[in-house]
């Protein structure tokens, strides 16, 4: 990747009072407010790190148009006392989300050199709050391909380059883990915010359905797609989420801002699964999940087992919907199938064979799936499940190790996540410790529709009591 600095601009390295790579989004904004750093200095430093990086390599595809000018404007606003809530906060953008004047490709040869003519709604809202779209980040093709993208290559996990970051927000997970950016946008259709958050040891929220607008985002499945924030802490999500919402939500803003001051969990009721979410899960992942539950109990939560839930049928329904809607979007391109990623092509061929009646029945059963979880949550506030069944999967075999057995990606990656895309419930993924190979594992906190702030409340309190989210990849040399 080459830099996009104008030829007449020279940025000379300057010693910084604040190490940009070591701070999260909240602390970066505090550094601006304290005068320890300016947005111009921060973004220039991150730019240099990205150009020289050997951990998040391949995650950043290109820099967004106009980031230098935006940084200068933000610095002027801080100096004049006119800073907006997210003034000067750089963020990465998954390459299916439009950024005005910037090449946006959806990771596909089919899109050519498409320059977005306007910002996606979520990007525009973040700009209004002062945040700066900084770089376009790698994705699998149309958010549905294999790890080995035919146009831009493969993104390795910063903790171990032989492992995957998890799809399809693959670049977003990698830049956060590599400490190259404090905040990124991802999308989630079967788990694509939460999977890379789990495998990269970061924190990501799949919001309640339609909380964040999908306008200006390349569609995969119009009934499952969600847009959401990916950061290094739940605290950071609480800071940025209100300014991403599709419409101004006073209660959401107030609720999230309150969480930044206090996240008391006394009396919170947590439900834990006894089937499906705990099956096909490595013993170390389960141990870390149980340890996380003990932490939550020590913070004042009560824990109650859920009834046995028949999740499998609804999980399969989610895939029926995704593949059918993928086919509706992409089947017209089949005459040029040689341009497709092989993983996407396999899914597309599956999708075109699904009967309309099967698709319709899957949609009909969605209400039953939602009711199943709402009934199970009658006397509890949140669900807490293990994240993915194992540590980051191997890129050479496309398998995940579960108790010594190599399990194909497709059996693990969406198993604990798809159901909450299908039902539209908010779900927060955050680190729970390290697994047997020394790679991150995760837990998932799930709420009723609209309870995004409550999920974040539990996540913030958990991270205040633990340090798993502070684990970073070891420094490597070229």
Where in the sequence numbering do the catalytic residues fall?
A: 94, 168, 192
- State yes or no: cis peptide before 168, omega within 30 of 0: yes
Tokens of 322: 């995704």
Q: Where are the beta strands (DSSP E) in 287-426?
A: 302-305, 382-386, 399-402, 405-408
Helices H / strands E in the chain, number of each: 16, 15
User: How many CA within 13 A on the CB side of residue 142?
Assistant: 26
Q: Is 149:96 a contact under the CB 8 Å cutoff?
A: no
String of DSSP letters for 345-405? HHHHHHHTTS-HHHHHHHHHTHHHHHHHHHHHTTT-SEEEEE-SSSSSPBTTTTEEEETTE
Tokens standing for residue 253: 């803003």
Give yes or no for a contact between 137 and 54, defined as CB atoms under 8 angstroms apart: no
Q: How far apart are CA 143 and CA 107, in angstroms?
A: 8
**Rounded to 5 degrees, what angle do the CA atoms 198, 203, 204 make?**
90
Output the six-digit token pair for 477: 């040399």
Question: Measured between alpha carbons, how far is 334 from 339 in angstroms, rounded to an integer?
Answer: 9
Strand partners, 60: 137
Cα separation values, 87 from 46, 71, 134, 142, Å? 16, 9, 13, 31
Question: Are 178 and 232 in contact, with CB atoms under 8 Å apart?
Answer: no
Within its chain, how far is the Cα of 349 from the centroid? 27
What SS3 state is found at 255?
helix
For residues 72 and 171, what is the distance between their CA atoms, to the nearest angstrom? 26
Q: Which residues of 170-180 are buried (b: 16+ CB within 10 A; e: fewer)?
A: bbbbbbbbbbb
Measured distance CA(400)–CA(413) in Å, rounded? 9
Left (φ > 0), alpha (ψ -120 to 50) or beta: where does 112 sit? left
Indicate the Cα dihedral angle 244, 465, 203, 176, nearest 10°. Answer: 100
DSSP state of 147: S
* Sequence-distant (≥ 6) Cβ neighbours of residue 331 within 8 angstroms: 348, 351, 352
């Amino acid at each position: 990747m080459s830099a996009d600095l104008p030829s007449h601009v020279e940025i000379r390295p300057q010693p910084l009072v604040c190490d940009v790579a070591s701070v999260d989004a909240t602390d970066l904004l505090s550094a601006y407010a304290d005068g320890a750093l300016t947005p111009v200095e921060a973004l220039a430093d991150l730019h240099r790190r990205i150009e020289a990086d050997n951990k998040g390599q391949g995650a950043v595809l290109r820099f967004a148009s106009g980031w230098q000018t935006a940084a200068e404007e933000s610095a002027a606003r801080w100096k004049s006392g006119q800073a907006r809530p997210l003034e000067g906060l750089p963020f990465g953008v998954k390459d299916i989300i439009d950024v005005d004047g910037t090449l946006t490709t959806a990771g596909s040869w089919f899109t050519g050199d498409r320059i977005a003519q306007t910002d996606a709604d979520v990007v525009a809202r973040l700009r209004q709050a002062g945040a700066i779209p900084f770089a376009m980040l790698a994705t699998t093709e149309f958010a549905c391909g294999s790890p080995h993208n035919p146009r831009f290559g493969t993104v390795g996990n910063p903790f171990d380059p032989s492992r995957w970051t998890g799809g399809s927000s693959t670049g977003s997970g990698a830049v956060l883990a590599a400490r190259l950016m404090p905040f990124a946008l991802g999308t989630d259709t079967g788990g694509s915010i939460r999977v890379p958050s789990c495998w990269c040891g970061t924190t990501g929220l799949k919001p309640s359905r339609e909380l964040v607008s999908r306008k200006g985002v390349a569609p995969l499945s119009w009934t499952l797609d969600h847009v959401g924030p990916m950061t290094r802490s739940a605290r950071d999500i609480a800071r940025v989420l209100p300014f991403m919402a599709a419409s101004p939500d006073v209660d959401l803003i107030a609720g999230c801002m309150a969480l930044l001051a206090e996240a008391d969990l006394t009396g919170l009721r947590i439900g834990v699964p006894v089937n499906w979410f705990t099956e096909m899960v490595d013993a170390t992942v389960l141990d870390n999940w149980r340890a996380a539950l003990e932490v939550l109990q020590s913070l004042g939560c009560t824990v109650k087992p859920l009834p046995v839930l028949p999740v499998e049928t609804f999980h399969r329904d989610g895939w029926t919907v995704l593949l059918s809607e993928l086919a509706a979007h992409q089947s017209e391109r089949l005459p040029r199938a040689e341009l497709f990623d092989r993983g996407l092509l396999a899914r597309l061929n599956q999708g075109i064979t699904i009967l309309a009646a099967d698709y319709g029945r899957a949609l009909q059963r969605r209400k039953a799936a939602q009711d199943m979880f709402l009934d199970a949550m009658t006397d509890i506030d949140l669900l807490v499940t293990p994240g993915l069944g194992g540590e980051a999967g191997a890129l050479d075999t496309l398998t995940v190790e579960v108790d010594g057995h190599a399990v194909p990606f497709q059996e693990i990656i969406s198993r604990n996540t798809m159901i909450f895309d299908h039902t539209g419930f908010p779900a927060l993924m955050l680190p729970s410790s390290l697994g047997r190979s020394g790679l991150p594992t995760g837990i998932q906190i799930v709420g009723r529709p609209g309870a995004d702030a409550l999920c974040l409340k539990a996540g913030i309190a958990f991270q205040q009591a633990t340090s798993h989210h502070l684990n970073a990849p070891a420094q490597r040399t070229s």
